[in-house]
Amino acid sequence: MRRELTERFSFTCPVCTWERGEPAPLELLVEREIDGDILSGHFRCPACPRRYPVIEGVAVLDPEPIRTSYDRPDLLQAYLWTHYADLSPELAGEEGGIRGNYFPEIAAQPVRGVVLDLGCNVGRTTFDLAGRAGFVLGIERSFETVKRAREIARSGRVAFHLKDEGDRGRYVDLDATGVVRENVEFVCGDAGALPLPPGVADAVLAANLLDRVRDPRLFLDRASRALRAEGLLLLTVPFTWREEFSPRERWLCEAERDGRRILLDWCEDHGFAAEEVTDLTLTIRNHKRFYELLRPVLVRARKSA
């Protein structure tokens, strides 16, 4: 975690901020730092007994850190391809040209100032939004993906083992210097209990996250409170509900209304004006002969003044 991050943001205890409604600024104790990058140490909350470690340069600001399927090597290589295959004409052409408009459409969103990219995985949207924003902070639950996103930011390279079929595969090493930006950082955290006080962000992106959190309505409520007045809420949602992530009774899916309608009604009921509603296309590569085609809806909504 770069030291300048603590000068830019006043991190607060996620539990005191969102459960007790009393944002307590965290105190940082550094154990090892090289060239302004804090590699180990911990944050401590002055108001409760909680401590949040910095491990291998990753600040783990999640009150309940868990390993999920997104930490697994097979999903990590799938997302590295999905986020960065366009850097190699050879890789990008393999699926027959159905890569989709997901990343270009997100990159074109009119953000400015401080942006939070929640559930950023290996960081492509974080870097892309940094082209327009002042600073983008990626907050992600999977430690392995945060570690990888930080490596990409520091090295300007995306190197990994790409699965072809079964145990067969190849090593790829892509030049990402055209994509990587300085004005980003990545931390581990829970998008439903952010380590930041309300009202810090000019824009919040949650790309394909809503159907992966335990309580989607609670998440929407807290994400919207993280925004300043007139801030932008950017959601992409493929509505792929699974009980392993969200209990069925919390799915945004009703007999009378589909997820897109429920989202738009939520915006109206919570003082957000929808500015754009578009269907996107995204390809996720499992292996050389198995791609998934997703059709998430993108909703861009502005918080009232």
Ligand X SMILES: C[S@@+](CC[C@H](N)C(=O)[O-])C[C@H]1O[C@@H](n2cnc3c(N)ncnc32)[C@H](O)[C@@H]1O
* Interface ranges with ligand X (CB under 6 A): 68, 70, 118-121, 140-142, 145, 190-192, 207-209, 212-213
Dihedral over Cα of 124, 263, 254, 105: its sign: negative
Min separation Cβ 114 and ligand X, Å: 18
Give the span between the Cα atoms of 120 and 105, in whole angstroms: 16
What are the tokens at 301? 């909504």
Tokens of 174: 């892509």
Q: Of 168 and 248, which has the nearer Cβ to ligand X?
A: 248
How many Cβ atoms sit within 10 Å of the Cβ of residue 184?
A: 24
- Give the count of beta carbons closer than 10 Å to the beta carbon of residue 42: 17
Tell me how far, at minimum, the Cβ of 145 lies from ligand X, in Å: 5
Residue with Cβ nearer ligand X (3 or 50): 50
* Residue nearest ligand X, Cβ-based: 119
236 vs 262 by CB, closer to ligand X: 236
CB of 260 to ligand X, least distance (A): 18
| Closest distance of CB 95 from ligand X, Å | 16
With respect to ligand X, which residue has the nearer C-beta, 46 or 73? 73
Q: Would you say 32 or 295 has its CB closer to ligand X? A: 295
Nearer to ligand X, 68 or 230 (CB): 68
Q: Where are the beta strands (DSSP E) in 27-128?
A: 27-34, 37-44, 51-55, 58-59, 114-118
Rounded to the nearest whole angstrom, what is the least distance from the CB of residue 60 to ligand X in the complex? 12
Alpha-carbon span 62 to 54, nearest angstrom? 11
Of 273, 278, 276, whose CA–CA distance to 295 is shortest? 278
Distance CA 114, CA 85 (A): 27
The minimum distance between CB 268 and ligand X, in angstroms, equals 25
The SS3 assignment for 223 reads: helix
Residue 73 makes CB contacts below 8 A (sequence gap 6+) with 161
